[in-house]
Structure 1
Amino acid sequence: MASIRASSLTCSLISSSLGGRGKRMIRATINMPKRPNNSTVSIDFPKLKTRGLVEDLELRSGYTNGITTTQSSPKTSPRNYDTKVSDPMVVAKLYAIMEAIADRVEMHKNIGEQRNNWNSLLLTSINTITLTASMMTGMAAMSDGGAPLLALKLSSTSLFLAVTGILFVMNKIQPSQLAEEQRNAARLFKKLHEEIHTTVSISTPTLEDVKEAMDKVLALDKAYPLPLLGVMLDKFPKTVEPPRWWPEKERKQVIKGFGGRKNNNNGWDSKLEEELKEINMVLKRKDEEDYLRLGGKALKLNKALAFSGPLLTGLAAVGSSLVGTTSCGSLAVVLGIVAGALSSVVNTLEHGGQVGMVFEMYRSNAGFFRLMEESIESNLKEREVERRENGEMFEMKLALQLGRSLSELRDLATSSSIKGVANHEFASKLF
């Protein structure tokens, strides 16, 4: 805007005539209308949108205030190019499964602590009651008869009978084995939680991932049930079988090995296939078989101890009830006191030594090796290499699960493949 104040404009023109004798000056005056005093003339120019250089560069690059702006035609949307976007409903379902898994972890942890307390408290109570009843039997034998003898006999017999009933229930449910089951379940649920979290974080989950996660949760619930009545696992099975906490998978047609570089075949080649086949044989022949054998021995020992404890307390109850009779005499006293003392020793070995927990530990370790075997077989039997787990990643995970380095894992496969050489090395170095 500019203001012009003027009452007149004077222009002087000086012209000279080349051919004339003299000079002539012409003056011209242009008079403009006068405006009132203190008035201004405002000239309004159109306002232009100004933009800084940085802002202009941001717009040209497609960024404004940290938000990407792309220009696309109505027919072509940027979303059409993004084939890695996860379905929000699938992600929401996986998070719902993760919440349920976290709740199960807490439940198994709390119940496992409770059942571990059962083992220690019941063992202490049973041994205390058994020793007290044995002392009463000895005091009854030293009494002269009458009311003191009858009271001591009734008290000791009642205590022995009560201990027999408690031992029967305790040996049936095996609290130490129950606690180990809950610890294993809590650990496996935590592992499953981390697997789903990794799937959501670094990949594009699908409905197949949701179904697989659901199947794994239900398989774990079946392998390690929480209730005692109706669904409790048999603590004294006829044969030792590894627990199965993973869902069944379809058996696919066996394919032959193939050559090629790992980078072009999802990390797989014929050499890796042969190594995994040898490792699978070692797992079956050495690790799983050995832990099933040890589990069988622990089961036999636990059966013998579980049968001996109530039997001894029952014999002690019979002996204490016959104290003071002329027919049995000292034999009843010896039976009541010695059987009661031996019962305390047997109970301490069984429940204090947690033989049931040892059996469950061997059984679960055998299940761990069975899972590794089926993982190897399912990958080798997959026809399409692209649908397998990445070979290099699978080999690394297998080595970590067995407590070995990659070179040690390959050396194990090499030594196992040599014919005529007895290989006494186990695949796992952890257990």
Structure 2
Amino acid sequence: MHDIIGRQRDNWNHLLLHSTNSLTLAASAMAALAPAAPGTVAALKASAGVLFATAAATMAAVNKIQPSQLAEEQRNATRLWRQLERDVSYRAAAGAVVTDADVQEAMDRVLALDAAYPLPLLPGMLEKFPKTLEPARWWPKRQVKNKPAAQPKAIINGARRGAMAGNGWTQDLEDEMRGIVRVLRAKDEQEYVTTGKLVLTVNRGLAVAGPVLAGTAAVAAAFAGPGEAGSWASGAAVLCGALAAAANTVEHGGQLGMLFELCRNVAGFYRKVQEDIEACLDEADVDRRENGEVFETKVALLLGRSTSDLRQFGEMASPSFRDEDIKDFAGKLF
């Protein structure tokens, strides 16, 4: 269903883009002809005004729903639903014992994903012009475990280093993972949040400019006609109509809504990697963690790096290492 609706909304974007531009450019042509055709000036003025007003209303509605962003939401939802289906199918086919906790986890993932990418257009549509950009979240919130009472630092370090000798975990590997989390938070996620905010600002400006220019052209077309004043009004209508078509083309032809949603989703991807690493490291008993070598390989694949590449991030776990000194990004896929 998400795949079908994603294709439908992508078709909406192309159809509405070309339809609105056709209305605007046709109205501009009529407004340009009005001063040179005194006998039909009333018909041309009325036709141009109606077309400009229709284009303005259409632009306002399309800018509100952002079809390219809607299509990107459903594309990402389709990928994540298929990933969830594969995870559940693999677990069921592996022959392992499925517990109530496994069922509850799968249900939580279904509900979180359904809330992150709703199917209905109205009501329930995600906000298209939020005041702040938050990374997309399609996974359940992690339950915070009660931490044990604080112990003397020497005792903690001693026990911890002794425990690190099992299940593929070492102190260096833990430092490496903490360094990756820090780089993801300071560089990768922040990069896409910043870019998303820039795209959102440009998109918001064009969403306002298009209907305003088309509405101005409709008003100017009402005064088009023979004479110097009519010629100036005709020129203003043509100019505003052309600018409205240009703004509409940049916004929806350039799919700025899709670009904003892409930045939001990528930032969410890096946020999820951070939380997965933190959840693993928060488990004090290393025997209950995922195997350290397997987990390192999985993180490397998610970030598009080799396991040897990850070792450079170990030093960044040190508190003495400042965020400003981090130059490289942890992820190489995006």
TM-score, normalised on structure 2?
Answer: 0.91
Q: In structure 2, how many angstroms separate the alpha carbons of the residues matched to 1:208 and 1:261?
A: 27
Q: In structure 1, how many angstroms separate the alpha carbons of the residues matched to 2:78 and 2:162?
A: 42
Q: In structure 2, how many angstroms separate the alpha carbons of the residues matched to 1:242 and 1:363?
A: 5
Task: Determine if the alignment matches structure 1 residue 259 to structure 2 residue 161.
Answer: yes
Alignment identity in percent? 49
Corresponding residue number in structure 1 for 2:169: 268
Q: In structure 2, how many angstroms separate the alpha carbons of the residues matched to 1:419 and 1:172?
A: 44
Task: Determine if the alignment matches structure 1 residue 132 to structure 2 residue 26.
Answer: yes
Q: Which runs of 4+ in 1 moved over 6 A?
A: none
Q: Residue 260 of structure 1: CA displacement?
A: 4.4
CA displacement, residues 147-198 of structure 1 (integer Å, 9 cap, x when unaligned): x111111111101111111111100000000000001001111111111122
Task: Determine if the alignment matches structure 1 residue 201 to structure 2 residue 93.
Answer: yes
- Counterpart of 2:282 (choices 356, 373, 381) is 381
Q: Residue 387 of structure 1: CA displacement?
A: 3.1
Q: In structure 1, how many angstroms separate the alpha carbons of the residues matched to 2:168 and 2:196?
A: 37
The answer to whether the 8 Å contact 1:240/1:292 transfers is yes
Q: In structure 2, how many angstroms separate the alpha carbons of the residues matched to 1:194 and 1:278?
A: 31
Q: Residue 415 of structure 1: CA displacement?
A: 6.0
Q: In structure 1, how many angstroms separate the alpha carbons of the residues matched to 2:147 and 2:196?
A: 32
SS where residue 241 of structure 1 aligns? coil
SS where residue 38 of structure 2 aligns? coil
Q: Residue 340 of structure 1: CA displacement?
A: 0.5
Unpaired segments of 5 or more residues in structure 2? 149-155
Q: Residue 141 of structure 1: CA displacement?
A: 1.6
Unpaired segments of 5 or more residues in structure 1? 1-106
Corresponding residue number in structure 2 for 1:221: 114
Bigger relative CO (Cα 8 Å, ≥ 6 apart):
2
Matches within 5 A, 1:143-154: 143-145=37-39, 148-154=40-46
The answer to whether the 8 Å contact 1:251/1:378 transfers is no
TM-score, normalised on structure 1?
Answer: 0.71
Task: Determine if the alignment matches structure 1 residue 115 to structure 2 residue 9.
Answer: yes
The answer to whether the 8 Å contact 1:254/1:380 transfers is no
Q: In structure 1, how many angstroms separate the alpha carbons of the residues matched to 2:14 and 2:97?
A: 48
Task: Determine if the alignment matches structure 1 residue 429 to structure 2 residue 327.
Answer: no
CA 1:290–1:165 in structure 2 vs 1: closer, same or farther (change >3 Å)? same
Q: Residue 413 of structure 1: CA displacement?
A: 2.6
SS where residue 329 of structure 1 aligns? helix
The answer to whether the 8 Å contact 1:402/1:430 transfers is yes
CA displacement, residues 361-390 of structure 1 (integer Å, 9 cap, x when unaligned): 001000011111111111111233333222
Q: In structure 1, how many angstroms separate the alpha carbons of the residues matched to 2:229 and 2:114?
A: 55
CA displacement, residues 69-125 of structure 1 (integer Å, 9 cap, x when unaligned): xxxxxxxxxxxxxxxxxxxxxxxxxxxxxxxxxxxxxx1111001100000111011
The answer to whether the 8 Å contact 2:178/2:317 transfers is no
Q: Residue 254 of structure 1: CA displacement?
A: 5.5
Superposition CA RMSD, Å: 1.9
CA 1:266–1:277 in structure 2 vs 1: closer, same or farther (change >3 Å)? same
Corresponding residue number in structure 1 for 2:105: 212
Q: In structure 1, how many angstroms separate the alpha carbons of the residues matched to 2:46 and 2:130?
A: 38
Q: For 1:402, give the aligned amino acid.
A: L
The answer to whether the 8 Å contact 2:207/2:251 transfers is yes
Q: In structure 1, how many angstroms separate the alpha carbons of the residues matched to 2:224 and 2:321?
A: 70
Q: In structure 2, how many angstroms separate the alpha carbons of the residues matched to 1:178 and 1:364?
A: 13
CA displacement, residues 10-53 of structure 1 (integer Å, 9 cap, x when unaligned): xxxxxxxxxxxxxxxxxxxxxxxxxxxxxxxxxxxxxxxxxxxx
SS where residue 276 of structure 2 aligns? helix
Corresponding residue number in structure 2 for 1:244: 137
CA 1:225–1:285 in structure 2 vs 1: closer, same or farther (change >3 Å)? same
Q: In structure 2, how many angstroms separate the alpha carbons of the residues matched to 1:169 and 1:245?
A: 28
Matches within 5 A, 1:76-115: 107-115=1-9
Q: Residue 139 of structure 1: CA displacement?
A: 1.2
Corresponding residue number in structure 1 for 2:151: none
Q: For 1:346, give the aligned amino acid.
A: A
Matches within 5 A, 1:227-376: 227-253=120-146, 258-260=160-162, 265-324=166-225, 328-376=229-277
Corresponding residue number in structure 1 for 2:153: none
Q: For 1:425, give the aligned amino acid.
A: D
Structure with more helix by fraction = 2
Tell me the matched-pair count.
322
Q: In structure 1, how many angstroms separate the alpha carbons of the residues matched to 2:168 and 2:317?
A: 23
Q: In structure 2, how many angstroms separate the alpha carbons of the residues matched to 1:295 and 1:268?
A: 37
Q: In structure 2, how many angstroms separate the alpha carbons of the residues matched to 1:315 and 1:423?
A: 49
The answer to whether the 8 Å contact 2:220/2:234 transfers is yes
CA 1:231–1:419 in structure 2 vs 1: closer, same or farther (change >3 Å)? closer
